[in-house]
Amino acid sequence: MWPFLWATTALVAVTSLTQTAVRAGEFGEPADREFKAKIDGSVERYVELLPQGFDPKKPGDLLIALHGHGSDRWQYVKDARGECKGVRDVAARHGMIFVSPDYRAKTSWMGPQAEADLVQLIALLREQHKVGRVYLTGASMGGTSVLIFAALHPDLIDGVLSENGTANMIEYTNFQEAIIASYGGTKQEKPEEYKKRSPELTPERFTMPVAVTVGGLDTSVPPDSVRRLVQHWQKLGKKDVLMIDRPKVGHETNYDDTVTALEFVIKAAAAKKPAARTDKKAEPAKKAASVGSETKAASNMPAQGGSASPAAPGGQP
């Protein structure tokens, strides 16, 4: 098992190793793909990046990146901010299959439809490729969503990096209009839905290595619930956890911290057996229609969802 580390300890050495190493490896052109969602028949989209020289006959790990509030599937593919570029560089270095989905909406917050889409997408990608381990990463709304999904489907996921997310949708008070629409009602109307999507309440569900980053000055997605989740893991004796807590930073994670955190998760996951894959929903989706067209990055590029700001990926959390 891997030691629990705080941001103030042992990070400089790890970061210095990754700053040069992440330059190795490159992706080919992004492919804009789509599939028909089984839950409601809608057409959902994702971007796929394959390593240059990708051999479909060989197994490869899969990294799925979930965008922030107000953005879309292109954020983690194109954005130069630290959270996005750091993830891309690490994925390229390790020769990973890199996928970034819309996961239902620019404001989904991992509601029931987004959850169903991601279960289906993982199964679909396993049909298309020889997928080894499956990793999730995201920032802000995406950081929240990866925690929610990993707690709901731990047997589908081998490692998680959550940056600047929340672990408690019951107490979270920002962006309520979008969350109500995604969850199908208010906290009073759908209390079980909000409880189900508050991973702080189910820390034992995290059977995989996890890294989290938080900023002490973050008011968009306050850090306290994630800090409490880490405390729960400590009490449970979970060792494969890294928390990078920057007390004087707001709603952002820099490049070096992103690289350090994701490398930690990958290294910790390599020391464990792959996830059990016992979730029946994850069985190959025979009827899932993959009608992806390999659209080059320069063609019909969607807007990035608001003006970019240092406070939030894609302009919003």
- Token couple for 224: 């306290």
pTM above 0.85, yes or no: no
Residue 274 confidence (pLDDT): 84
- Do 165 and 213 form a contact (C-beta atoms < 8 A)? no
What strand order describes the sheet that includes 60-66? 31-36, 43-49, 97-101, 60-66, 131-139, 159-163, 210-215, 241-246
Q: What is the pLDDT of residues 162-199, one digit of tens each?
A: 999 999 999 999 999 999 999 999 999 999 999 999 99
Please report the pLDDT score of residue 73 as a whole number. Answer: 97
More confident residue, 12 or 157: 157
**Do 102 and 74 contact (CB within 8 A), yes or no?**
no
Let me know if residue 36 belongs to a domain: yes
Average pLDDT over residues 122-144: 98
Give the pLDDT band (50/70/90) at residue 69: very high
- The DSSP string of 54-107 is --TTS-EEEEEEEPPTT--TTHHHH--SHHHHHHHHHHHHTT-EEEEE-TT-TT
Q: Does residue 311 lie in a domain region?
A: no
Q: What are phi and psi of 75, to 5 degrees?
A: -55, -55
The rounded distance, in Å, linking the Cα atoms of 114 and 152 is 12
Asked whether residue 314 is assigned to any structural domain, the reply reads: no
- Which is higher by pLDDT, 264 or 314? 264
Q: Based on the structure, what is the number of domains in the chain?
A: 1
Q: Is residue 201 part of a domain?
A: yes
| 4 domain residue, yes or no | no
Average pLDDT, integer, range 31-58: 96
Q: Establish if 106 belongs to a structural domain.
A: yes
Give the chain's length. 317
Buried b (16+ CB within 10 A) or exposed e, 101-122: bbbbbbbbbbbbbbbbbbbbbb
Residues 97/62, Cβ–Cβ less than 8 Å: yes
Which CATH number goes with the domain that contains 68?
A: 3.40.50.1820
Q: Does 17 reside within a domain?
A: yes
Identify the domain containing residue 163 by its residue range.
11-293
pLDDT band at residue 83 using 50, 70 and 90 as cut-offs: very high
| pLDDT of res. 169 | 98
Is 305 inside a domain boundary? no
Give dist(CA 274, CA 133) in Å, integer. 6
At 276-287, the pLDDT tens digits run: 665 444 443 333
